C-alpha cells in the first residue's frame, strides 16, 4: 500500500471512470455561430479575453477638464510612454466594446531636479485623448 492511496478519492463499486463524468457537447450550426459572433461584437471583453489591453491603459485622468471633455465623448487616459495610437485604440475597443473615432496623445518630459550634489529627473508621462463614436459611452469614472 502506497502512502498516497489513502488520500485518493474513493469510487463506488461497479461505476467506471468514464461513466462518472458526463460530457455535454454542443452542436454548432452556421446559424448559432452567427448569433454568437454578433453578440461578441457588441459586448465588452472580460478581463481574461482582453489580453494585454489592461497593460496599455493605466488609469483615467481625473480632473475638471477631463470631466468636461467626457461630456463631449472625449476621454482622457494615462498610458505608457511607449504606447502608440493604434495600440491605444485597439485596447479601448477590446475592453469597453466601443468604436474609437480618433486618438490624440500628449507627452510630458520629466523635469531635471537637483538637490545639492544629487541630480535626477521626474518620470516621463503620456496621456491619450480618445474620441468615441457619438451615442456610445465609457464608464471610466465609476468608483473613482
Does the pLDDT at position 8 exceed 60?
no
Do residues 127 and 77 lie in contact, with contact meaning Cβ atoms separated by under 8 Å? yes
- Any domain includes 62: yes
- Over residues 85-111, the mean pLDDT reads 94
- Any domain includes 125: yes
- Any domain includes 126: yes
Task: Give the sign of the dihedral formed by CA 26, CA 27, CA 32, CA 36.
Answer: positive
Structural domain that includes position 141: 46-144
Cβ partners under 8 Å of residue 55, min gap 6: 80
Model pLDDT, residue 44: 57
- Any domain includes 102: yes
Specify the CATH number for the domain of residue 82. 3.30.70.330
> Mean pLDDT in the chain?
79
Q: Grid coordinates representing 117?
A: 550634489
- Any domain includes 63: yes
Do residues 88 and 79 lie in contact, with contact meaning Cβ atoms separated by under 8 Å? yes
- Any domain includes 5: no
Model pLDDT, residue 68: 93
- Any domain includes 16: no
- Any domain includes 1: no
The residue among 90 and 15 whose pLDDT is bigger is 90
pTM over 0.85: no
Percent of the chain scoring above 70 in pLDDT: 62
Does the pLDDT at position 55 exceed 90?
no
**Count of the separate structural domains present in the chain:** 1
CA distance linking residue 10 with residue 30, whole number of Å:
43
For residue 51, give the DSSP letter: T
For residue 72, give the DSSP letter: T
Amino acid at each position: 500500500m502506497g502512502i498516497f492511496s489513502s488520500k485518493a478519492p474513493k469510487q463506488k463499486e461497479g461505476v467506471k471512470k468514464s461513466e462518472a463524468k458526463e460530457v455535454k457537447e454542443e452542436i454548432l450550426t452556421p446559424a448559432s455561430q452567427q448569433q454568437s459572433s454578433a453578440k461578441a461584437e457588441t459586448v465588452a471583453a472580460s478581463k481574461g479575453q482582453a489580453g494585454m489591453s489592461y497593460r496599455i491603459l493605466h488609469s483615467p485622468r481625473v480632473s475638471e477638464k477631463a470631466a468636461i471633455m467626457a461630456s463631449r465623448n472625449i476621454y482622457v487616459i494615462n498610458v505608457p510612454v511607449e504606447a502608440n495610437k493604434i495600440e491605444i485604440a485597439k485596447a479601448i475597443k477590446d475592453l469597453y466594446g466601443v468604436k474609437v473615432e480618433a486618438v490624440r496623445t500628449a507627452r510630458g518630459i520629466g523635469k531635471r531636479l537637483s538637490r545639492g550634489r544629487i541630480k535626477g529627473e521626474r518620470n516621463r508621462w503620456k496621456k491619450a485623448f480618445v474620441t468615441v463614436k457619438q451615442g456610445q459611452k465609457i464608464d471610466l469614472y465609476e468608483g473613482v
